[in-house]
């Protein structure tokens, strides 16, 4: 399954083999996109399908292998199904024949661990309806909704869609503003967008496009310059910007050019607050100063991309950190949402990119093992600002709004 390439809400379908998970996917999508068979174990790997759900918009359906698979290969399939939980915003647990035992209990514990809302479908109700007493017990014990369901019937898709709408958290599909809470009507935001080897030809990179749209959506004014033209604009300064947002790679030059009385941050820090764990980033970033010789650093890229000779995550950040600390450090880069090559506790710090192409839930779950293990986490832009000595200035526009964050400085 291709991971980390969709920022739409993800809905995972889980359950034992031959419980009809793929049939439910087909009912929702209203087309034959998942293979359906009476033979248990037809679905071997998580399969994704994009569709539109009224009231929610575009979503990604994730069909998973059976959680009761057996054998060495079967256990690998189960592992992939459980791993899919890191990428989803809501789960559907499918049961049949009133069978509810250890596999379901383990899966529900995983839902709770990842704070994933879910509901239960008792499928194939035409063959065996849900037992009323068991339904009450499960709903009471687990505080969960159970739907008696049969494929096909006249209103099966509508029944599922209504249940999904009831259980999907608003945070998964309602777009949050990037910087709306730091802007007022008519504010001028100056964006510094370097055009370098990593910029796609004829286009701006995604974080820059997202920020421009957010500025316009909040009835403010966006002015875009390259770093080479920044000084020319600063000299004219008409109108004076209320906020400057720069590419993190140009932080040092832009900070020197922009007067201290004008708030300054970066696109990566904007995304850090919008999608990442900003509180833990603020706590974790200063740990860069505590790095020692032979420490191992984990750099997390949320997407796969062509690696240039001056790649920000693989080349520049390691070079800057090594120069800043003066230590002999080891760096490992993991792209997408792939598994880590070693235990998270083997790393001295984790440095996460902005995550513009994944959901907030995916990014939070990506950082969760490190946070749970007490490993410091930071973000590309925040790490770069810290190294260049402008950390407090770079996070100040948001710390002033997030009053609770004042305790973390």
Closest CA to 289 of 326, 250, 314: 326
- Write down the pLDDT at residue 48: 83
Residue 225 is encoded by which pair of tokens?
């310059």
Under DSSP, the state recorded for 312 is: I
The CATH class of the 180-270 domain is alpha beta
- Write down the pLDDT at residue 45: 53
Question: Domain 282-404 belongs to what architecture?
Answer: 3-Layer(aba) Sandwich (3.40)
Burial of 326 (0-12, 13-18, 19+ CB in 10 A): exposed
State the first-to-last Cα distance of the chain, in angstroms, to the nearest integer: 40
| This prediction's pTM | 0.73
- Write down the pLDDT at residue 405: 44
DSSP E strands in 239-396: the ranges are 243-246, 264-266, 296-300, 330-334, 349-352, 377-379
C-alpha 293/C-alpha 131 separation (Å) is 62
Residue 247 is encoded by which pair of tokens?
């590419």
C-alpha 156/C-alpha 162 separation (Å) is 10
C-alpha 339/C-alpha 171 separation (Å) is 26
C-alpha 126/C-alpha 332 separation (Å) is 53
Listed by start position, the domains of the chain span: 10-173, 180-270, 282-404
- Write down the pLDDT at residue 402: 64
Return contacts of 105-112, CB within 8 angstroms, 24+ apart.
106/67, 107/14, 107/67, 107/82, 108/142, 108/144, 110/82, 110/85, 111/85
HSE, CB side, 13 Å, CA atoms: give it for residue 276: 31
Under DSSP, the state recorded for 332 is: E
Paired residues of 265 in beta bridges: 245
C-alpha 268/C-alpha 383 separation (Å) is 10
- Which one is the CATH code of 10-173: 3.30.420.10, 3.40.50.11710, 3.40.50.300, 1.10.10.10? 3.40.50.300
- Residue 349 near residue 297 (C-beta atoms within 8 A): yes
**Length, in residues, of the chain:** 409
Q: Which helix (H) or strand (E) holds 307?
A: none
On the question of a common fold for 10-173 and 180-270, the answer reads: yes
Per DSSP, the three-state class of 231 is helix
Residue 178 is encoded by which pair of tokens?
């990037």
C-alpha 283/C-alpha 287 separation (Å) is 8
Per-residue model confidence as pLDDT tens for the chain (409 residues): 333 345 688 999 999 988 988 888 888 876 554 444 444 444 445 678 888 887 778 888 998 888 888 778 878 888 888 888 888 889 999 999 999 999 999 999 999 988 899 999 999 988 999 999 999 999 999 999 999 988 765 567 788 888 998 888 876 666 788 999 999 999 999 999 987 655 556 678 888 999 999 999 999 999 999 988 999 988 887 788 999 999 988 999 999 999 999 999 999 999 999 888 999 999 999 999 999 999 999 999 987 554 555 688 899 999 999 999 999 999 999 988 788 999 999 999 999 998 888 888 889 989 999 999 999 999 999 999 999 999 999 999 998 766 544 444 4
């Amino acid at each position: 399954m291709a991971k980390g390439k969709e920022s739409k809400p993800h809905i995972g379908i889980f359950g034992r083999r031959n419980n009809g998970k793929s049939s439910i996917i087909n009912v929702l999508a209203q087309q034959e996109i998942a293979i359906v068979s009476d033979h248990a174990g037809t679905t071997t790997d998580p399969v994704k399908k994009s569709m539109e759900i009224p009231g929610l918009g575009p979503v990604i359906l994730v069909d998973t292998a059976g959680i009761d698979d057996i054998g060495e290969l079967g256990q690998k399939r189960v592992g992939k199904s459980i791993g899919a939980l890191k990428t989803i915003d809501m789960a559907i647990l499918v049961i049949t024949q009133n069978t509810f035992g250890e596999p379901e209990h383990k899966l529900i514990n995983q839902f709770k661990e990842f704070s994933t809302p879910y509901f239960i479908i008792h499928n194939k109700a035409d063959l065996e309806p849900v037992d009323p007493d068991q339904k009450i017990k499960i709903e009471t014990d687990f505080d969960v909704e159970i739907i008696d369901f049969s494929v096909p019937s006249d209103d099966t898709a509508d029944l599922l869609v209504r249940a999904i709408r009831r259980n999907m958290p608003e945070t998964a599909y309602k777009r949050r503003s990037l910087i709306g809470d730091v802007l007022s009507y008519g504010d001028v935001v100056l964006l510094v967008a370097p055009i370098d080897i990593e910029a796609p030809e004829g286009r701006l990179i995604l974080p820059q496009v997202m920020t421009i749209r957010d500025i316009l959506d909040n009835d403010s004014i966006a002015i875009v310059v390259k770093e080479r033209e920044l000084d020319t604009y600063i000299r004219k300064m008409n109108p004076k910007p209320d906020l400057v947002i720069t590419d993190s790679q140009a932080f040092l030059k832009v900070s020197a050019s922009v007067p201290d009385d004008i708030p300054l941050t970066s696109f990566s820090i904007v995304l850090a607050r919008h999608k990442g764990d900003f509180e833990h980033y603020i706590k974790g970033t200063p740990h860069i100063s505590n790095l020692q010789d032979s420490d191992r650093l984990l750099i997390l890229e949320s997407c796969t991309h062509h690696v240039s000779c001056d790649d920000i995550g693989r080349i520049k950040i390691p070079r800057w950190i090594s120069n800043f600390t003066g230590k002999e450090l080891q760096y490992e880069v993991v792209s997408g949402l792939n598994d880590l090559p070693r235990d998270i506790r083997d790393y001295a710090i984790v440095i996460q990119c902005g995550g513009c192409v994944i959901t907030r839930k995916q990014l939070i779950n990506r950082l969760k093992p490190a946070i749970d293990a007490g490993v410091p986490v930071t973000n590309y832009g925040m790490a770069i600002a810290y190294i260049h000595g402008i950390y407090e200035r770079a996070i100040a526009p948001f710390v002033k709004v997030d009053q609770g964050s004042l305790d973390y400085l």
